[in-house]
Structure 1
């Protein structure tokens, strides 16, 4: 374990070494800050390890709409459904779901859309700058993504989605079945067409992206200590952080530890944040390397398939069961069952590995990106399933906050909106 810097030598302690935290640590170090990065796990573990790998700039709508009310009974009854709520967790989740429903009213819903879109619109260029700056642009493929459908009755829903995308200035091209097969010939003839999103892309190894950014951060002077930070307090000269490795002090702290961020935020700011976690699953198929040219999502089956350096990653499903419940890996294996019929030949699951991670979500689907407590506490968490997409632009915005350059575009992500 690397010994931490002492209080006089640490400008900013970044708590959380996922994709957002590591990107922020690198940005702050490049701005001349002496940065200490802290996490209970090595960099890149947790949700950053197993995300879908899709740069989802097209996903500008909140995580739910009013149809969630109709789906609530099936959420409670179907353990393998694409959206599941553990009935034992329901009492604890009800305040969060109540806030979610209140945010589905027209005015707050549109504020959420505008906030997500503002981050997403800057995400692609920010990632190009960040990966270019470390010489690893090869880890990202800007080749678009495709949403396919298989049922005639889905045509109307697809057309409505395309219209909504156009209203939000999101490029979306309708592809016929012939166009789909010409580009992805291994897909099944049951596919009737789809929407192609040209201003999206995918990462060929999301974990490697974090590792490469971490190496660049270390080269820029960032120190790392493996410690579980579980509390802290503010004092005249900065911040003290309590951990299982002792107490660490710094002039400022950046809380960016994903689903674990609420407790530390409350300890340091006195503010209770309505943060819950979407438990996401993936199944990695190491024997599949030539099936798809880019990420493909099924409209009806509600999961995504992303080609990566180590195979094909099937990802999706949302499960609300809290931080501590054990994973239900059958949900990961269900993704392979969902893939049957999408290809002319079924996918090879030999050697497949399942995974579950915790995606931090706030009820308005917007992250917190803010600086509070006279500048001693910075915040960057709650990106829900868009953490990878928005990490690079979030790091740039955190860099501006550190320089006291809060722009009007940052108002939607303030902590005091709760």
Structure 2
């Protein structure tokens, strides 16, 4: 490393590994503290899961990502390549330890810890996003108009009412809508829709990638630098961290690991803790010719996918595939979303010029993220938010900002890294 490079890298207070919505929200919070921040990612800002998520501010999702019924669904997961929940049989040996941990976390005590942990983050998420977007002059990127979980089959009504009772018991604002209320609010939906649950304290982002770009612009205005570089390795130093890049190396007083599904290796390298992080491969299909079909995000209870109105059209998303980080995308799963939409509207959706996408959701078997400070404060951690990365990004950034200052943050025990030290 040249003398000029050494002088430049010595001025880094926090190196942020990952330029998704969580990494960029954290980088902005840290820069507002006066810290000198640099962000590293091999892709452009917001090009991973932050680019292709459903755009739903899912504050209502306070239960784990799976339940015990996953055991009954396992044969279909292995045999149906187009099912809403797919497990690639070649990935099964690697996935089984994760699934076993997931099942163990569905026992009463850990299940309640998960629900309490998700509620704590989700209850604070909407207000945190309001503060963040207003502070950068982009409040219009979030539409606070609720969301709907719709059903078509008469036999689903009882299950929806039971879900309403469970969510209401957790303090989630929820209303039961009959078919007439659904038609009044979303008249282009088919008369097959018999009703649904409406969640008034949710919303959607009109363009998730624009959100990341807006955060980047605000951060760069405070001196944050983005580098399109892969962080290959890391080493703890007495006064900070050294990171080896694809080209060169840097030193910083602190590092924040916020690279989603790719966070496990660097976390283990720096902290010695092996996290059971796996990836749920999510797909979307973007329909650029569809505007005005829906006033808010609508999820199909039976068909297991979500439709979100966005600035660039209508986004269909929601399938889950366990196949790891290396296997090529199966874009037929993205196109399957258009077939799933047929019959949900009075007139079928226009798929001309549609674009498919696949990305990686970082998921831990207890459905909770890691939000923590380790190694005497030299290492900060913000990853594993599963389907809720966009929802929880702003509140996660506020927590990381306090942890970076060395402050104690009440209520973060559920998200500590050391909960995995037994593995």
TM-score range, shorter chain: over 0.9
Report the equivalent of 1:198.
Answer: 200
Separation (CA, whole Å) in 2 of partners of 1:238 and 1:143: 44
CA pair 128-202 structure 1, distance change in 2 beyond 3 A? same
CA pair 5-396 structure 1, distance change in 2 beyond 3 A? farther
Counterpart pick for 1:295 among 294, 297, 315: 297
CA RMSD of superposed structures (Å)? 0.9
Report the equivalent of 1:20.
Answer: 22
Any gaps of 5 or more consecutive residues in structure 1? none
Report the equivalent of 1:363.
Answer: 365
Separation (CA, whole Å) in 1 of partners of 2:249 and 2:196: 54
Report the equivalent of 1:77.
Answer: 79
Report the equivalent of 2:164.
Answer: 162
Separation (CA, whole Å) in 2 of partners of 1:408 and 1:137: 28
Report the equivalent of 1:335.
Answer: 337
CA pair 189-196 structure 1, distance change in 2 beyond 3 A? same
Following superposition, the deviation at residue 5 of structure 1 comes to 7.3
Following superposition, the deviation at residue 307 of structure 1 comes to 0.2
Partner SS state of residue 10, structure 2: helix
Confirm whether residue 114 of structure 1 aligns to residue 83 of structure 2: no
Counterpart pick for 1:105 among 101, 107, 117: 107
Q: Deviations over 1:278-309 (max 9, x none)?
A: 00000000000010000000000000000000
Partner SS state of residue 6, structure 1: helix
Report the equivalent of 2:69.
Answer: 67
Confirm whether residue 277 of structure 1 aligns to residue 282 of structure 2: no
Report the equivalent of 2:147.
Answer: 145
Report the equivalent of 1:135.
Answer: 137
CA pair 5-280 structure 1, distance change in 2 beyond 3 A? farther
Report the equivalent of 2:354.
Answer: 352
Q: Deviations over 1:179-227 (max 9, x none)?
A: 0000100000000000000000000000000001000000011111111
* TM-score, length of structure 2 as denominator length: 0.97
CA pair 5-142 structure 1, distance change in 2 beyond 3 A? farther
Q: Deviations over 1:40-65 (max 9, x none)?
A: 01101010000000000000001000
Separation (CA, whole Å) in 2 of partners of 1:96 and 1:294: 34
Query: Conserved in 2, the CA contact under 8 Å of 1:84 and 1:320?
Result: yes
Query: Conserved in 2, the CA contact under 8 Å of 1:274 and 1:363?
Result: yes
Between Structure 1 and Structure 2, how many residues are aligned?
A: 416
Report the equivalent of 2:94.
Answer: 92
Report the equivalent of 2:9.
Answer: 7
Report the equivalent of 1:207.
Answer: 209
CA pair 103-4 structure 1, distance change in 2 beyond 3 A? farther
Following superposition, the deviation at residue 248 of structure 1 comes to 1.1
Following superposition, the deviation at residue 236 of structure 1 comes to 1.2
* TM-score, length of structure 1 as denominator length: 0.98
Separation (CA, whole Å) in 1 of partners of 2:273 and 2:412: 19
Partner SS state of residue 187, structure 1: coil
Separation (CA, whole Å) in 2 of partners of 1:406 and 1:6: 31
Q: Deviations over 1:259-285 (max 9, x none)?
A: 000010011111111000000000000
Following superposition, the deviation at residue 406 of structure 1 comes to 2.2
Following superposition, the deviation at residue 245 of structure 1 comes to 1.4
Partner SS state of residue 279, structure 2: strand
Moved over 6 A (4+): none
Q: Deviations over 1:27-50 (max 9, x none)?
A: 000011110111001101010000
CA pair 292-125 structure 1, distance change in 2 beyond 3 A? same
